[in-house]
Structure 1
Amino acid sequence: MDKKPISISFANQKGGIGKSTLTILAASWLRYVRGLNVLVVDCDFPQNSIVELREREKKAVMKNDAYKLMLQRQFERLQKKAYPVIRSTPENAENDVQVFLTSESEPYDVVLYDLPGTMGTKGVIYTISLLNYLFIPMRADRLVMQSTLNFAQTVYDKFVGNPATNIQEVFLFWNMEDRREKTNIYDLYERMLGTLDMKVYTSRIQMRSKFSRELADTDGTVYRSTLFRSDGTFLRESGMAALMDEICTTIGI
């Protein structure tokens, strides 16, 4: 294959920050809204939550005629099947991706890596070095921010501008924003990030319980899914649509 896909990841060394959900929503946006060829590499061993979600969704579709019809109509509109999800580990990801892409007849546009939340996991640092763009979710919590800033500083120091790595840009963004919180907390952190020359997106992902709702848990409205585009109103109100617009501008899509 001549065309090399853009490699990206939502990464943070703090667990529970929503990396896997963001990966799912981003991949679905790129595939089912923008019609791109997308590959998701689930390296978050051993839980491999995206692989497991795909399997649960397949079962949910088989039991629901409405979802079967939705899947058929989506294919007719895009002329594309659901994006593939492969199970891997950080140390094997590069080889697994190459094997997969070599076997495909069409070039891929984007590869998204879902990585473990621990930098010490074997292969994580090397896989990060292979990425073209890294997006770091933040949460306005002191413990979360301390860990996030340490991670972001490490990435900036070791990878950005290093000719031995592929990373072109790193952006941070607010995830799980609770609008009941004082806005000056965010302003304070952003001023601090500015002094560190770290780039922060303007869009913010709102706290929504619906982020965790799967096909089997809903009345037909799609929220988090690997097989379907999420509900448009949900994407706009949660801030995910705005975030994906910023990401697409960054990566040149």
Structure 2
Amino acid sequence: MVIIIGNQKGGAGKSTLTLLLANFLTLAKKRTVTVIDMDYQQSIAGKYEKAKLLENAEPYEVIAASLEHYPVMLSILTQNKEQIVIIDLPGKLDDDGLIPVFQSADLVICPFAYDEFSFDSTVLFSVVLKKINANAPINYIPNRIKGNVKYETQKEVEEQLSKFGDISTPLPDRIDFQRTNTFQTPLSVYPLIIPVFEKIYEKYLLASN
């Protein structure tokens, strides 16, 4: 199964969400996962190499790769039907190299915020994705949401995005999310991510088995 985590807008929290999902699937669900870090900053690959230097046991492999490498890698990675491939996409849409990535997606997870700029980027990302792969379900995750802020656009944003896919329970803006790495998620974060990831797991991953 191929899961892509993306949005055109940078700073949506794609890389942290990728780590959280990979840790959840390997540590809580005992699934076989490979993460492909295609983000320009390659922060996940950096954390992975740092964890190896510290001799931490990695629950999954992280591969730093560019878009042009993907078609060959996909044919190798998908030989194992039990394998879950999670891709942290670059924050852009203007590269034809994204087409085979979008085409291969079995599930798209899209973090977003309720501000107008994030919403516009999220809709554009969704429209492009659906033109390339109309069958891939999209699951939106409101991310880094501040609990003491009233979002005027929330209802309108959710109405528009629900035309493209499902919207998860929001994830709050908390500093302990940033302590997630390639071998563990802080225990304090689990009560927040379990309601989001359990629904995604049951609806999309168990259904695909």
Question: Fold conserved (TM > 0.5)?
Answer: yes
Is 1:123 matched with 2:123?
Answer: no
| Superposed counterparts of 1:66-145, under 5 Å | 71=57, 82-99=59-76, 108-145=82-119
* Partner in structure 2 of residue 235 of structure 1: 190
Give the partner amino acid of 1:137.
Answer: P
TM-score, scaled relative to structure 2 = 0.88
Give the Cα–Cα distance (whole angstroms) in 1 for the partners of residues 96 and 68 of structure 2. 6
Question: Partner of 2:168: helix, strand, or coil?
Answer: strand
- Higher Rg of the two aligned structures: 1
Q: In the alignment, what sits opposite 1:33?
A: 28
Q: Which letter maps to 1:187?
A: K
- Which of 156, 172, 181 lines up with 1:225 in the alignment? 181
Residue segments in structure 1 that go unaligned for 5+ positions in a row? 1-5, 63-67, 72-80, 162-166, 214-223
Is residue 2:166 matched to residue 1:200?
A: yes
CA distance, structure 1, for counterparts of residue 69 and residue 148 of structure 2 = 43
Could you tell me which residue of structure 2 aligns to residue 252 of structure 1?
A: 205
Count of residue correspondences: 206
Match of 1:179 among 143, 147, 172: 147
**How far apart are the structure 2 equivalents of 1:132 and 1:107?**
13
- In structure 2, stretches of 5+ residues that fail to align are none
CA distance in 2, matches of 1:176, 1:117: 17
2:17 maps to 1:14: no
Q: Alignment identity in percent?
A: 24
**Residues 8, 133 of structure 1: 8 Å contact kept:** yes
Q: CA RMSD in A?
A: 2.1
- Dislocated runs of 4+, deviation >6 Å: none
Residue 205 and residue 115 in structure 1: after superposition, are their counterparts in 2 closer, same or farther (change >3 A)? Answer: same
Q: Give the aligned partner of residue 77 of structure 1.
A: none
Letter in 1 for 2:167: Y
Using the alignment, how far apart are the partners of 1:231 and 1:95 within structure 2?
35
2 CA distance for matches of 1:101 and 1:150? 29
Q: Please report the TM-score for the alignment, with normalisation by the length of structure 1.
A: 0.74
Tell me, what secondary structure is at the counterpart of 1:113?
strand
Q: Which residue in the other structure is 1:76 paired with?
A: none
> 1:157 & 1:129 partners in 2: Cα distance?
10
CA distance in 1, matches of 2:48, 2:145: 27
**CA deviation string 1:79-121 (max 9, x = no partner):** xx6211112112212312434566xxx7533110111011113
